[in-house]
Structure 1
């Protein structure tokens, strides 16, 4: 079984749209090389689109763009044509998709922990850089200021009574 990014509904839509684009191109007698030059889409992709060979095409979102540009090149409403190709289908045939989704969603929760730790460390570093006083420095500064006030202020000398 070939692994493809298109589900069954998309494959059917792709065949119908591709056949329609081919029919319009042939009715207008436009060569596929002209469409390739005008849309800048590889000819191999255009041929795969026309023939409904979804296995040779890139992801559905790109194919939707190809359809729009191809339709515009043929003078059709490319936007409306591209909207007919639904890209929002979910693949329902694989049973492991739910497990993968659960595993991927839990990856984001642990990433918050290193960010929180990094933020906390950065906050502490910033705090101590902006406030360089440490408790030991403040005690030493207080003792120094007490000593300087004691040396600058001389105690009053009491006048001694003189006996004459």
Structure 2
């Protein structure tokens, strides 16, 4: 049943992306703009913009990144990027009503369309607020056991994936994450991550997903495995990774989606999933 629901969501995302991509292409061509020009404005690779126009999900990263690309593309060609991006779902969705932005960018919205759009925006806002509150409450519970700041030399329990507590009020805006000492569980694979900017990450330890989500700038985490750790980053240029206490290195270029595998007997192997913009700037979604 779950697989059927996921397949249905994927089909709806593909249909909506096809409609959105066709609309963006039409507006761009009306303004006589090339994909290269849009890429220079948005810092999004040309092939990623082409995949959006073609509705090709296979050539694009996770839906949350696709939504950010759509918003930046639409803003660059003079239409409401937030409205169009919100029409593309990033998770389980209700059967969408035909989007009100179809046709030319000068098309007028009918009252019924406006009513449906407002309802969708309200539902999206309530869902987003509920998710944020639940996540904040969950993290607050995880922080509660810390009664004092962690010192640089203090170690973390083996296999721990807990965050350290939030920074003090006087340190807002600065990197406050402290270096986590190497664990001593004796497992042959140890991978440490330090984020120089916000990035989405998925961590798989011995074939099991241990973490998936967005980590903020300054976060430092360590994972251990008996056989293999796989790290996938939405912005490889924002992630420093160390393997078995080696010198930390960037996972890849800013804005690129990279996946690296680490085991006990070899160096990391990597796979580039989405190339960064030609200017080398980070993609912030």
What is the TM-score normalised by the length of structure 2? Answer: 0.30
Cα distance in structure 2, aligned partners of 1:60 and 1:52: 12
Q: Write out the 4+ residue segments of structure 1 that deviate beyond 2 Å after TM superposition.
A: none
Cα distance in structure 2, aligned partners of 1:55 and 1:89: 19
Cα distance in structure 2, aligned partners of 1:69 and 1:58: 15
Unaligned stretches of 5+ residues in structure 1? 91-114, 116-164
Contact 1:7–1:89 (CA under 8 A) maintained in structure 2: no
Cα distance in structure 1, aligned partners of 2:92 and 2:49: 22
Post-superposition Cα deviations, 1:54-94, rounded to whole Å, max 9, x if no partner, equal 1001110000000000000010010011001011227xxxx
Q: Which has the higher strand share?
A: 2
Cα distance in structure 2, aligned partners of 1:24 and 1:59: 25
- Answering whether residue 65 of structure 2 is matched by residue 62 of structure 1, we say yes
Aligned-residue Cα RMSD (Å) equals 2.2
Say which of 87, 93, 116 aligns to 1:84.
87
For residues 1-164 of structure 1, what are the structure 2 equivalents within 5 Å?
A: 7-89=10-92
Unaligned stretches of 5+ residues in structure 2? 1-6, 94-156, 158-285
Cα distance in structure 1, aligned partners of 2:55 and 2:44: 16
Contact 1:45–1:57 (CA under 8 A) maintained in structure 2: yes
Cα distance in structure 1, aligned partners of 2:75 and 2:40: 13
What is the TM-score normalised by the length of structure 1? Answer: 0.51
Q: Which has the higher helix share?
A: 1
Aligned residues: 89
**Greater Rg by CA:** 1
